[in-house]
Structure 1
Amino acid sequence: MSTQTMEAGWTRAASIDEMTEGEVTAVHVNGTPVALYQVDGALYATHDICTHEHAHLSDGYLEGCEIECPLHQGRFDIRTGKATCRPVTETLRVYPVRIVGKDVFIRTGAPPHGAAE
């Protein structure tokens, strides 16, 4: 998929039509593996690689706002990136999301969640 820039720092990641409610969509944005989630109509984006082991979270199990790693069943809150279940302990990177028309844009260069922009 080609990426298009909306404005400084924002890159098109997918079309809303490519996403399904309650499922994970794997994309690459500027070389970064990203997992996109649509939960209760809201969109979220996290780094797609588990912080515990090198596993793609997009291959994991999404339940509500938690993604379970397919390798060791650690869980993260997709809204904050916080680890919610061992063996994961390190916070997962989350990315800001914007919708423009049917295009989903994210900021991979944004500061980590909770950092000042």
Structure 2
Amino acid sequence: MTFVKVCPLGEIPADGAMAVEVGDTPVALVRSGEGVFALNDICSHAEVSLSEGEVYDGTIECWLHGSCFDIRTGKPTNPPATQPVATYKVKVEDGDVYVSLGSDD
């Protein structure tokens, strides 16, 4: 599994999100009290950036129509979204955040 350094941990807002690119893949990095999570940054319902939404109660909310996605699983927790978004492995080492898009990358 290959991890790519994406940013210093301090760049991700506390209880917030930011957008990064891993190769050609848009990724939303989410920081919550539980840690750092990575999801595909494109909402499965309306194809807008999830990283621009609010983070609360273990979810990130799409700013356009209000669908929330579990930051651990990528599954929608309310409509109108019905399809999950991909999630990615994250590790934090020496103050930097690394993301892996999958086991074969």
Q: Could you tell me how far apart the structure 2 residues matched to 1:18 and 1:9 are?
A: 22
Structure-2 residue corresponding to 1:25? 18
CA-atom RMSD, angstroms? 1.4
Structure-1 residue corresponding to 2:43? 50
Deviations 1:77-97 (A, max 9, x none): 011111100011101110010
Structure-2 residue corresponding to 1:4? none
For normalisation by structure 2, the TM-score amounts to: 0.91
Identity %: 36
* 1:41 CA displacement: 4.9
Q: Could you tell me how far apart the structure 2 residues matched to 1:91 and 1:105 are?
A: 22
After TM superposition, which residue ranges in structure 1, 4 or more long, deviate above 6 angstroms?
A: none
CA contact (8 A) 1:21 1:41 kept: no
May I ask how many residue pairs the two structures share in their alignment?
A: 104
Structure-1 residue corresponding to 2:70? 77
Q: Could you tell me how far apart the structure 2 residues matched to 1:75 and 1:17 are?
A: 25
- Give ranges in structure 1 of 5+ residues lacking alignment: 1-7, 112-117
Question: Could you say which structure has the larger radius of gyration?
Answer: 1
* 1:27 CA displacement: 0.7
Q: Is 1:98 matched with 2:91? A: yes
